[in-house]
Structure 1
Amino acid sequence: MDDETRDESPVSFERYDHVTGPFFHGTRAVLEVGDELVAGHVSHFQEGRVLRHVYFTSVLETAVWGAELATALVGSDERGHVYVVEPAGPFEDDPNVTDKKFPGNPTRSYRTVEPLRVVGEVDDWQGHPPEVLQGMLDNLAVLRAEGRDVIFD
């Protein structure tokens, strides 16, 4: 479905079937096809915070940010990973980037309490220039310093 015909209706655990993939997940974790991403892991964005959801997107660029930030936030200069995933159950709009912070869901980001199964990896994704990545890290640091790095989980 292209952007012109995509259903922009809110996505909820009760109404998610109108959202089609492919879906992506960006991370620093090394995974294999068939592996499952599950809730209960520590957040890359808040130290010590265990997440009740698994997050994913239908926009490759959003997953690239996830991969880059996941590695940069732990001080690694390794390249992260962008996986193609399939949700095993219902999902909803990610409130961290939807109406609580931005109108709609411009990054087409979602979350689920069910596993995401890895069905492939995107090897040829393009990262951001170092200065752009540093700008994002600086913005995250400001949010953290101001106590505005809230994760709705």
Structure 2
Amino acid sequence: MNIKFDPNNAVIRLCMSGMSLEDSGNIEDATTMFYKAWHEATDDYERFIAAYHLARQQKIIADKLKWIEASLQCALNINDDNVKSAYSTLYLHIAKCYDELGDSDNALRNYESANLYNGAPSDEGPFYHGTKADLQVGDLLIAGGISNYKPELKMNHIYFTANVNGAGLAAALAKGEGKERVYIVKPIGEFENDPNVTDKKFPGNLTRSYRSQAPLRIIGEETEWAKPTTTERREWRENLAKSKGGIIN
């Protein structure tokens, strides 16, 4: 399977609404929204995400454990690269629940499983980088550019993704007046999960976003992706402007 993270998915939108309610302190309505996401989920991918957010809301450890184990089981059922990055996080939450319940054997077993999946990304792509720069096949993209989101910040890494629509959004938000371009790239060194999105709103790295200090080689150009509407672009820029979190550089 090769599932693409879609921010317009109905269940993901419900979870995003729940997180917004949570951020504003409205925990009861947030929990209701997460239950709604669970009941409206139609497959294991949607159930994995909804159950994860329900687990976070539980006050009783046994209930938290029940929901996080449900999330993990759905994730394991999928067996998809898009979801494997969440395994370590889910096993770690389960281990901590068993710790709090005094079950050291199950805690240790799940800590070991968390460590087993906590390695370098195994994603084999294809990978994409969105920009407004006019580049050629064979060119190298290198770290040291200015952030699209914080103009005062010089980036220590070059960023890329296995989600072509995510690269298209990055192209839309990039500085400059040039044509929006999505290049197919190949990392020529080690790379890591982008810590700015990994385990933030969703478990693992569902958007398959990565970064490297080594260059990326352009090996082609993609011309087909879901281009964000004018309204979506405005909303993204407004959300970025309101964002209080710093970029992990």
Gaps of 5+ in 1: none
Q: How many residues align?
A: 143
Contact 1:68 1:79 in 2 (8 A): no
Q: Mapping of 1:11-26 within 5 angstroms?
A: 15-16=120-121, 18-26=122-130
Partner of 1:28: 132
Question: TM-score by structure 1 length?
Answer: 0.84
The residue aligned with 1:112 is 212
CA 70–149 in structure 1, closer or farther in 2 if over 3 Å, else same: farther
Identity %, equivalent residues = 42
Structure holding more strand per residue: 1
Which one has the bigger helix percentage? 2
Report SS of the residue matched to 2:234: helix
TM-score by length of 2: 0.53
Larger Rg: 2
Runs of 5+ unmatched residues, structure 2 = 4-77, 89-116
RMSD of Structure 2 on Structure 1 (CA): 2.0
The Cα of 1:2 is off from its aligned counterpart by 2.5
The AA in structure 2 aligned to 1:65 is L
**Mapped pair 1:58 → 2:162:** yes
**Pairing 1:2–2:2 present:** yes
Highest relative contact order (Cα 8 Å, sep 6+), 1 or 2?
1
Q: Which residue of 2 aligns with 1:38?
A: 142
Q: Tell me which amino acid in the other structure corresponds to 2:152.
A: G
- Could you tell me which of 199, 224, 238 is aligned with 1:99? 199
Match of 1:133 in 2: 233
Aligned match of 2:172 in 56, 61, 68?
68
Shift of 1:79: 3.2
1:83-102 per-residue CA deviation (whole Å, 9 max, x = no partner) reads: 00000011110001112454
Q: Distance in 1 between matches of 2:225 and 2:191?
A: 25
* Cα deviation code 1:73-128 (max 9, x no counterpart): x5x3x431100000001111000111245421121000000000000011233311
Conserved? CA contact 1:140–1:149, under 8 Å: no
Over 6 Å off, 4+ runs: none
